[in-house]
A and B are shown apart, each in its own frame.
Chain A
Amino acid sequence: MYQENSNTQYNTIRWNANDLKELSKQMINSILSSSKIDFSKKSIYSFGKIRNDSYDHIDTQALIHKISTALIKSTKMNITNNPNKSHYIFEGKISSILKQNQQSQDMFFSFNLILTQQKTKKIIWSHDIEIRKVYKRNLLDW
């Protein structure tokens, strides 16, 4: 079976494509609706590192690319790949908490992103996105 458009039908307790899409979508909405971010096009923004402090192997570059592509498409912000040429820089981290027993697993992901002014090192904006997934083992699986 081949699907061209990814959907949320197939889920796993560990990090997967649905989580990438959900975290990036919520963060993009938060950035674009912020009153603290300068959308005058006089400012240039870049992305620094998103640290992976979670249990899973997460390609944080994919997260950066999803967010930056959406911001560029919005035409509201100037984005550069060169942090030396930017006035503000986005950086963040992903962390997780996993709990499990014989019947179920409970995975919590937290994605934190902050926006810092390069010149003054002042934090202009910050946002946290949380995702929680629960897996319950079917009694008939025993």
Chain B
Amino acid sequence: MKKINLILLTALNFILIGCSTQSNQTTRIDPKKIHELDANYGIEDLHIFTNSMMQSMLRSPLFKTDKINIFIGNIQLGKGITEHIDIKLLQNSIQNNLLNSTKVNISSKQNLPQYYLLSGSIHAIKKDTLNRLDNYYLFTLNLTDNQTSIIKWSDEKEIRKVVFK
């Protein structure tokens, strides 16, 4: 009887360890996969924004002729942003996409006679009501001619996330 109890107890232990290992497992997933944990800004939004802006930018007449010079400027955060957004990560993502397009020269200094300043902003309007979280993000990006100060290309991307409580 005691032996059977011991075997049963040992088996139960293994089962419990197995279950706990399953529930606490960390797995790697594709960085581009949509895996939402909450309604805040996430890596998915960075990808959506970058892809959308790149598609729009490369369709612009600015990119039809020779390679253009671009200086990556600042992306401002609006008042409604409550979480930490890594602007540098966003700038690097845009820069890498531009370089891969082979249609631009990226300058690290604003010392060329003619270039386009890439700048932008992220704004958010967040609502926290009784039954839902409603987060709206507005990404805007511009290319400004440094000689004329005229904005030659601009586009926006809206993202809205709703979480029901």
Residues of A within 8 A of B (CB): 1-7, 10, 12, 14-17, 20-21, 44, 57, 59, 61-62, 65-66, 68-69, 72-73, 78-82, 85
Chain B nearest CB, measured from A140 CB (Å): 15
Query: Given known contacts A10-B134, A61-B123, A65-B138, is B164 in contact with A1 (CB within 8 Å)?
Result: yes
Specify the chain B residue showing the minimal Cβ separation from A63.
B123
Could you give 28 example pairs across A and B, Cβ below 8 Å?
A1-B163, A3-B160, A3-B162, A4-B48, A4-B159, A6-B136, A6-B159, A12-B129, A12-B134, A15-B125, A16-B134, A17-B136, A17-B158, A20-B136, A20-B138, A21-B158, A44-B150, A59-B78, A59-B125, A69-B142, A69-B154, A69-B156, A72-B151, A79-B151, A79-B154, A80-B151, A81-B144, A81-B149
A17, A20, A59, A69 — which one has the most chain B CB atoms within 10 A of its CB?
A17
Please count the residue pairs between chain A and chain B whose beta carbons lie under 8 angstroms apart in the complex.
99
Contact B140 A65 (CB under 8 A): yes
Residues of A within 8 A of B163 (CB): 1
Chain A nearest CB, measured from B149 CB (Å): 5
Residues of B within 8 A of A2 (CB): 34, 36, 161-162
Chain A nearest CB, measured from B15 CB (Å): 36
Q: Which of A5, A10, A68 contacts B151 (CB 8 A)?
A: A68
Q: Which of B125, B127, B159 contacts A62 (CB 8 A)?
A: B125
Residues of B within 8 A of A68 (CB): 151, 154
Q: How far is the CA of A52 from the CA of B119 in the complex (A)?
A: 25
CB-CB contacts of B15-35 with A at 8 A, as 1s and 0s?
000000000000000000010
Q: How far is the CA of A137 from the CA of B161 in the complex (A)?
A: 26
Residues of A within 8 A of B119 (CB): 81
Chain B nearest CB, measured from A77 CB (Å): 10
